[in-house]
Amino acid sequence: MTDPISFASSTPRFALPLLFSGQAQKEVTVNEALLATDVLLHGCIEAVANTPPVSATTGQTWLVGDNPTGLWAGHPGALAAWSDGGWRFASPRDGMRIFDKVQAADHLYNGGWKLVVSPAPPVGGTVIDAEGRSALINLIAALRSAGIFAAN
């Protein structure tokens, strides 16, 4: 099931459904908005994938890869969250960050998802500054630990 509910009125950034005056079954709209808010407020993904997992628990979220298949087809780059009602998709916006549990680092969306890869530690050269190399290696490790660089 791929997002079977559509709403006539929604917020501009993340298309959260809005209530309208005299609406029946307000709980459907409110519950959809709460589910989307839960996924987006603390962005955390299980991994990047092109194929939906065989089993998922409510609230688990994946970043859909560039070549999605199956129920994720047509949603490249979206966040796919499993709910009791099936898959729900959220389109990214510039400035969005999500934490990747596998990479132990943030993906940043700026026209596309980016994961900062850590640079290689210094090696070789004709003049070797042991203290400088040590400082750079420690800096790279600290940035990895802070989630700035991917864990490689």
Q: Burial letters for 52-72: b for 16+ Cβ neighbours within 10 Å, e otherwise?
A: beeebeeebbbbbbeebeebb
In this model, does residue 3 exceed pLDDT 70? Answer: no
Side chain identity, residue 61 = T
Give 85-133 pLDDT, tens digit per residue.
889 898 898 888 999 999 888 898 989 999 887 888 888 888 888 888 8
Domain ranges across the chain: 1-92, 98-145
pTM for the complete prediction?
0.70
